[in-house]
Amino acid sequence: MISFQLDVEDLADTRFAISPLQEALFSVWTLRDPGRYPLHLPWRRSVLSQLDTVDRRLLLSLVGETRALPDFLTPRPTTSARSIEEQLAGVRGTPPDIVCRDMVATHAPGRLPDVLHEVSAPGEKSVIALVDTICDLLQRYWDMAFMPMWPQMRLVLEADITHRARQLATGGARLLFSDMHPNLRWRDGVLHIDKMAATHRVTAAGRGLLLVPSVFAYKPVPPLSPDEPPMLAYPSRGIATLWAEAPAADTTALASLLGVPRARMLGMLGDPLSTADLAHRLRVTPSAVSQHLQVLYATGLVTRARDGRRVMYRRSPLGNQLAGQDPQS
């Protein structure tokens, strides 16, 4: 069991953050142990089909037999909106002795995988080169496996933060940790994390507590080393909604929302059309069309641009979503 001892000041400094780099590292658990992640299996199949053998071998070597991860690769986010490029830039500056310490701790009590032999090689240059290789891999992995889905993932994580922050504000730490995970217990100013391979107690001592929701964490995840500041990643709410297919657009519902004339216009504006074009197609007066277009434009459902003397209208990305159309159309 790992425990965080938090005083009043630490609770006042309890914050939330999102860590792209942690998500990338945690997702390796999914690649290695798919049985724990039935919801992520379609994502896993897609990723594995694109990973080459060398990259996959090095990526999997970053996880220990106990599912531990190196602390230097899961750094404490300094801001809630930090990008993975900024985080990797910080990782590249990790002192070689810290890299060696964390890699050995990750794979303890076993031996290091052969692909990480640079950690035990003499000289700092080999360790620095290994860190650069790992960071380059994680950037490629992010671009391939996360970039397409990150906006949706981030929305899930932000929704969780909103929910948790409301719990903290209305019910304090007791309510905050009550349903975060069964392995968490809050009692007498101490947060207990059960069913951990390690056993130690960390005194926050004014450093506060950072809480990081995760799409890929299957249980609470504190830092591996007791010397690290208190930080806890935890499974986010709403993960099941992440991979759910969007429902097909209901044209009847759209007409009920916008009215039949505006719904028809929105459906026709996949290509740029003028007021006169729409009036001709709908067999109504240009003034009637103009009134509806003003409403669609004011609500952000269409965009407009001048073409000579004509003003051309077209569905906006928001309009595409509402109409159930491809955002690129």
Q: Which domain holds residue 316?
A: 251-323
Cβ atoms of 62 and 134 closer than 8 Å: yes
Cβ atoms of 316 and 301 closer than 8 Å: yes
Cβ atoms of 44 and 255 closer than 8 Å: no
Residue 84 lies in a domain: yes
Residue 274 lies in a domain: yes
Report residue 203: phi and psi, to 5°.
-95, 120
User: For the CA atoms of 29, 33, 39, 42, what is the dihedral angle to 10 degrees?
Assistant: 90
Residue 67 lies in a domain: yes
Do 302 and 233 have their domain in common? no
User: 54 has which bridge partners?
Assistant: none
The total number of structural domains that make up the chain: 2
The string of pLDDT tens digits covering residues 17-58 is: 999 999 999 999 999 999 889 989 999 999 999 999 999 999
Residue 202 and residue 232: Cα distance in Å, rounded?
Answer: 12
The string of pLDDT tens digits covering residues 151-173 is: 889 888 988 998 999 898 899 88
Residue 319 and residue 266: Cα distance in Å, rounded?
Answer: 7
What H or E segment, with its residue span, contains residue 191? strand 190-193
The string of pLDDT tens digits covering residues 168-204 is: 889 988 999 998 999 999 999 999 999 998 899 999 9
Do 295 and 230 have their domain in common? no
Do 215 and 261 have their domain in common? no
* DSSP for residue 61: T
Q: What is the CATH number of the domain that holds 257?
A: 1.10.10.10
Note the Cα 73 to chain centre separation in Å: 16
Using CA atoms, how far residue 231 sits from 26, 30, 74, 89, in Å, is 15, 22, 10, 21
Residue 281 and residue 327: Cα distance in Å, rounded?
Answer: 24
pTM, full prediction: 0.74
Cβ atoms of 6 and 204 closer than 8 Å: yes
pLDDT value of residue 329: 44
Do 170 and 315 have their domain in common? no
Do 82 and 110 have their domain in common? yes
Do 169 and 263 have their domain in common? no
Do 148 and 258 have their domain in common? no
Residue 235 lies in a domain: yes
How many Å is the Cα radius of gyration of the chain?
Answer: 25
